[in-house]
Amino acid sequence: MKKKNILLIGLAALTVVSCKSLYGTYERPDVKTTGLIRDAVSVSDTLLATDTLSFGNLPWRSVFTDPLLQRHIETALGNNVNMLNAALNVKMVEAQLKAAKLAFLPQFTFTPQGTIASWDGGKASKTYQLPIAASWNVDLFGNLLSQKRSAQMALLQTKDYQTVVQCNIISNVANMYYTLLMLDSQLNILGDMTRLTKDTWDLMKLQMELGRARSTSVQSAEANYYSVQAQTAEMKRQIREVENSLSLLLGQPAQQIPRGKLEEQSLPSEFSTGVGIQLLANRADVHAAEMNLAQCFYNVQTARSRFYPSLTISPSGTFTNSAGGGVVNPGKWLLSAVGSLVQPIFMKGQLTAGLRVAEAQYEQAYNTWQNTVLQAGSEVSNALVLYNSSNEKSALETQQIDVLKKNVEHTQLLFKSSGSSYLEVITAQQSLLNAQLSKITDDFHKMQAVVNLYQALGGGAK
């Protein structure tokens, strides 16, 4: 008798422990965040910026202040197909979550029946049945609860992806807009250089007429003029293609894009990005990866709960005039209730396989989450180094352009007095053009770095 009591106590304790495990809630596991963001300038790789309440929490309207750009972003958020589909995905998952919550309630069915029967031409007998049946799955071991919690995590994950889509749209629109401003500025530079090379060509022709230059100098100047015109044509093609791409992103037919000027843009220049766990709070894709991990956690619990018994209670009631079963006519109630307990014993390894698969999927989700965190840190690091290097190059190119402008003026003056060759004039012009185009490109890269950093930090405050 004592052995029997000890066995019963042991089974009860095991059941309590199992239920505690099955009803447990997700807790965030450890993730590597040490040294997550590499400093853009420090040789020690230690991130110096630690303020988490600055650039990373700015809303997009505070980052991108150009009114025309803001209007384009708003248009894209309202018209973009990916954004519209992301909203529909949220609605679908919300419906699935509602179904998971309703799974705790009984299921009712109503199946009325009527019968008319006649034996050997005799008087027809009429019977009817109005049965109402119910079935209620009692959630003893958390099967329905874990499925509901998994659906809740799926909803959060879907909303995160909606935020990711929004952040990507804002960043893509801003990048394309700034690309157009860069191309416009480079096109203006090419226009100025076209006039300058045309003047040089005319000067060479005049010098040849005066006997101070040879035909080769005229030919080189003419070729240089055509080279700049060819670059101009290529620049116009690029502008048209970027406009077409941006129009598609805005959900509009291809058209000209209203825009400002590169030199009129004002973007943040001081960045405090925060470290480690801050990225987990701001990056929607990082949070989505963690919600996928939580969903897999509850899927493991669901797989475990399938090893335990399931209790189903099935009451039914039938209002009938049938004489069968001793029912007095007409119209009496026939009530019944059935309780069934099903304990899996041998399921051909399906339950064990399901648990192993769920556990492996949890490990995969953890690896994906960890990698997403590391990728977020890498993207922040890349954006910071792009901004710093472009800013440094732009400052040096400003000085280089000042020197090259003087060099162009001096070589032209010297050429008129036969103090320099036509090659020096053309080389000086080409060097100036390349430096001006490079500076505009690096100014654009600074803007692009701001956009990339905005995106890498999760799109700012929502």
- What Cα–Cα distance (Å) separates residue 173 from each residue in 258, 295, 298, 397? 13, 33, 38, 28
Cβ 306 vs Cβ 365: under 8 Å = no
Confidence of residue 126 (pLDDT cuts 50, 70, 90): confident
Distance CA 370, CA 329 (A): 71
Predicted pLDDT of residue 119 = 78
Residue-averaged pLDDT of the chain:
82
pLDDT in tens, 190-208: 999 999 899 888 888 888 8
What percent of the residues of the chain are helix, what percent strand, and what percent coil, each to the nearest 5?
65, 10, 25
At how many degrees (to 10) do helices 143-209 and 67-79 cross? 140
Residue 209 corresponds to which tokens in the numbers above? Answer: 């007429």
Distance CA 178, CA 266 (A): 12
Superfamily of 23-117+124-456 according to CATH: Outer membrane efflux proteins (OEP) (1.20.1600.10)
Q: Give the percent of the chain with pLDDT over 70.
A: 85
pLDDT in tens, 400-453: 999 999 998 888 888 777 666 778 888 888 899 999 999 999 999 999 999 998
Q: Tell me the pTM.
A: 0.77
Cβ 311 vs Cβ 137: under 8 Å = yes
pLDDT in tens, 376-406: 888 888 888 898 899 999 999 999 999 999 9
Distance CA 108, CA 63 (A): 55
